[in-house]
Amino acid sequence: MRNKFMAVTVGALLGLSGMAAAQPPEGKGPPAGKGPAKKEAAATAGKTELTWWGHAAFVLRTPGGATLAIDPWFSNPKAPQGAQWPEQVDAILVSHGHFDHVGETKALQQKTGAQVFGCYELISLLGIPQDKAVGGNVGGTFKVKDATIHFVEAVHSSSYAADEKSPSQYAGAPMGFVIQIDNGPTLYHGGDTGLFGGMSQIAERFKPTYALLPIGGHFTLDPTGAAQAARLLGNPTVVPMHYGTFPLLAGTPDKLEADLKKAKSNAKVKPLEPGKATAL
């Protein structure tokens, strides 16, 4: 999205005077000259824990000690104030190349030594060390401790620019992720997506327990579309995301609840508070 279209959209419609290239917030980024920090404990009491950082950014911790960061735009306007970045991350999952999803991927990788997973074309653009860059495509499956990560389809676009002065480059196909936790829940992170029939195939194969779905509209699903997506996905518990970050992303969890009822879906809605770890 860091192109002329996005500059106009963000500047004019959202009332922002240009979006700076994603950088580590002061005091939260990687310590200068230091390598990966010590490992953190596994999720409390054998539970999988999910923390929302606002927008589409999440940190997932598993009972087996895996820590996954998804679309880590940790400096987004809804991010928890004063929160420190995770000290230990095993894998960073990036759904597509737009700045509000790539976020602080490179800095977080440098801080933690994590592997970075995403579309082959995108990963090749991010400047990640070769031994830490895991580029794949829809259909790929990867194992990180007790988490199995599947790359799945998303309906969106994808381009990447290293900074505001650089031209946008084709960043391959956008993707979502299905994350299966051994002896635990299965999560589907839709990335930025619209509604597509393949969601029913995701339901048939993976049977997700939780669906992290965008509800903001304009660039992604709105609440009505997310309600239809929940039905196609087999009515998992829906964790709404990608809303409220800017006025343009107007969908709300309350509207999603109402639209689920209209769609005759029995899926539950589980809104998360930014910065609060939630046991699943």
Q: Residue 103's closest CA among 72, 69, 77?
A: 72
CA 170 vs. chain centroid, Å, equals 20
Please provide the size of the chain in residues: 280
Burial class (CB in 10 A: 0-12, 13-18, 19+), 80: middle
Average pLDDT of 141-153? 98
CA-to-CA distance for 230 and 209, rounded, in angstroms?
11
pLDDT tens for 92-138 read 999 999 999 999 999 999 999 999 999 999 999 999 999 999 999 99
Average pLDDT of 242-249? 96
Tokens of residue 221, six digits: 């699903």
Task: Yes or no: say if 220 and 194 are a contact pair by the CB < 8 Å rule.
Answer: yes
CA-to-CA distance for 150 and 139, rounded, in angstroms?
7
> What per-residue confidence (pLDDT) applies to 163?
87
CA-to-CA distance for 184 and 30, rounded, in angstroms?
31
> What per-residue confidence (pLDDT) applies to 212?
98
pLDDT tens for 186-201 read 999 999 999 999 999 9
Global confidence as pTM: 0.86
3-state helix, strand, coil in the chain (%, to 5): 20, 25, 55
Task: Yes or no: say if 173 and 29 are a contact pair by the CB < 8 Å rule.
Answer: no
pLDDT at 238 over 70: yes
CA-to-CA distance for 173 and 156, rounded, in angstroms?
8
pLDDT tens for 1-54 read 444 434 434 443 333 333 333 334 433 454 333 333 344 445 566 899 999 999
Average pLDDT of 221-238? 98
> What per-residue confidence (pLDDT) applies to 46?
82
> What per-residue confidence (pLDDT) applies to 21?
37
Sheet holding 147-153, edge to edge: 141-144, 147-153, 175-181, 186-189, 210-214, 237-241
